[in-house]
Amino acid sequence: MNMTLKYGLNPHQHPAKLVLPDPSPLKILNGQPGYINLLDAFGAYQLARELKAATGVPGAASFKHTSPAGAAIAKPLTETYLTSQFLNKKDLSPVATAYLRARGGDRMSSFGDVAAVSDIVDVPLANVLRRETSDLLIAPGYEPKALEILKAKKQGGYLILQIDPDYEPPPVERRMLYGFQMEQPRNDTAITQDLFTHIVSADKKLPEDARDTLIVATIALKYTQSNSICVAYDGQVTGMGAGQQSRIHCTRLACDKADKWFLQQHPKTLDLAFKKTLKRLEKTNIVDQYILWDQLSEPEEAQMMSGLDNTPARITQGDRLAWLAQFDGICLSSDAYIPFRDNIDRAQRSNVQYIAQTGGSARDGEVTKAGDEYGIVMVHTGLRLFVH
């Protein structure tokens, strides 16, 4: 059973098709997907589904270019969070909050995302997606009114996929590359709390909420292009460093993104007075520039100021450190072992307090000692999660 795709990885790679099992667990309810759409959709749905299986609450993922920009489980949204994300307080369902948290982890990277949720799409989630720049949604089902709302998105061109929640793929994966076919068992290892019992640090205390956040971060890594590092807080990815050739670059990228996520909620950021004509995307860009003010060129600074009605106070380095220091439970997970202590030094600057990594490096002792110097709880999972 074949489905014609819009095109392959690039428009000149045409024709392209999807070969479906019979009967098919996948339904295209609206639009015509392309090759990349499906790569992101299948990765994102597996991530959202596994978050639900591990935690018992709705999970969501926001995917771009075969890696999650964000992922989260459902939790209530605080007033500060809503304000920092330019959101109005509404009657939000659990599945809607899961997606808003996933998208809000890196709202710039989530622009034009593939969205996935573990639960049936309801009207509150459909109304959220109606105003977001998103290319596709995949879910196990849709309420009729929610589907009607989504079909009107993008002048009727929004991609809507439905997948059977009971579908399980074959145990063996096959991949064709340069004319060669490779096979391997599918990575169906479940990420559960049992994976986080081998604590190697001097501090052996791993609170339940920190463990659950490490579970979220580690599941996200399972569907992220390697090398990868994930920083998470309160059941939500706040910084993903993906696809880098060295682990320290992953760590820097993930921690820099996480720092920005926290600083979006700093009082000085919330005091920015935007010109009334600005759209939400323009406000988002200005906030990103404001947080990185010291790194801006003169033209970039002028562009930022042109969107503001006030002259804001800078967030100093002291402000940054003091603000990050007040958050308890910041977690970091690595898809393989951490080879050098420089990763720990960078993580500590972002107030990371809990780290999960594979272990098995020749420098495990040195890395663990670095964590002990900062009072970081370190867990060895023994599980590598490379994605290529």
* Residues labelled as active-site residues: 64-65, 227, 388
3-state secondary structure at position 57: coil
DSSP state of 154: G
Rounded distance between C-alpha atoms, residue 348 and residue 290, angstroms: 23
Bridge pairing between strands 354-357 and 377-380: parallel
Sign of the alpha-carbon torsion through 145, 146, 151, 153: positive
In the chain, the DSSP E strands lie at: 2-4, 17-19, 26-30, 59-64, 67-73, 113-117, 134-139, 159-163, 172-177, 180-185, 228-233, 236-242, 331-334, 354-357, 377-380
What SS3 state is found at 221? helix
Residues listed for the chain = 388
- Torsion sign over Cα 271, 311, 280, 231: negative
Q: Are 266 and 323 in contact (CB under 8 A)?
A: yes
The sign one gets for the Cα dihedral 232, 108, 63, 248 is: negative
Amino acid, res. 375: G
The tokens for 32 are 């015509």
